[in-house]
Structure 1
């Protein structure tokens, strides 16, 4: 008797129609791209059941990746109209924003980055991070 089956992993992009949000990491406007990852067992190349479902959100602006809580992710899979809020997200990977982006006059501008939370901003006058509130002065 030949047994053809196995365990594998999969990823699926979920249909989330949220509005444009301001990214907590880079401060730009972006959209949430929601994904589900899972493990599955297949028998004769037919997937039978899935487990270890995890939900992730990738920002379209900077590429930051967040893990989405499982209740909100499952509601999106069921097609419910839910709004993803910041409290539902846990940062997994910080986004990559070009620190030398051009301003409205075409001149390059250097962004400062908070060493505590990774937030990027272009105002040199701040002594405290506008996102997390921690001191921006280097500790000596």
Structure 2
């Protein structure tokens, strides 16, 4: 948050909707579509948004993916995200089918012994 006197710029995030997506970290099928933007405010009242970014967050493992702005209309309409809609991987958390979080470098789950 950055304020000078009566106006300033603030960061906002807003969950748009839940969508279907096959997470590369845990293979879950659900994700949240989130809009992150900067907001110009006067007396803490939002006037306009700028610098919008769209993020997909896995509901199980918390992996995050940046989405192409051009794909957002299609994603909202169909409620599905494909790998072509992703611009980059922001954060990926690997999780075994048993629910154990996996540290990079492991070939087998340290809890259940399943091959990853």
Question: Taking structure 1 as the reference length, what is the TM-score of the superposition?
Answer: 0.60
Matched residue count? 100
Alignment counterpart, residue 109 of structure 1, candidates 102, 107, 113: 113
Which residue of structure 2 lines up, in the alignment, with residue 56 of structure 1? 55
1:61, distance to aligned residue in structure 2 (A) = 2.8
Match for residue 13 of structure 1 among 5, 15, 27: 15
The structure with higher relative contact order (CA 8 Å, sep 6+) is 2
More strand by share: 2
- Of structures 1 and 2, the larger Rg is shown by 1
- The within-5 A match list for 1:5-84 is 5-16=7-18, 18-19=19-20, 21-26=21-26, 28-73=27-72, 75=73, 80-84=77-81
In structure 2, the gaps of 5 or more residues are 96-100, 103-108
**2:41, 2:23 → 1: CA distance?**
38
Report the secondary structure of 2:52's partner residue. Answer: strand
Q: Runs of 5+ in structure 1 lacking a partner?
A: 103-107, 112-120, 122-140
Q: CA deviation at 1:91?
A: 0.9
Q: Give the CA RMSD over aligned residues.
A: 2.4
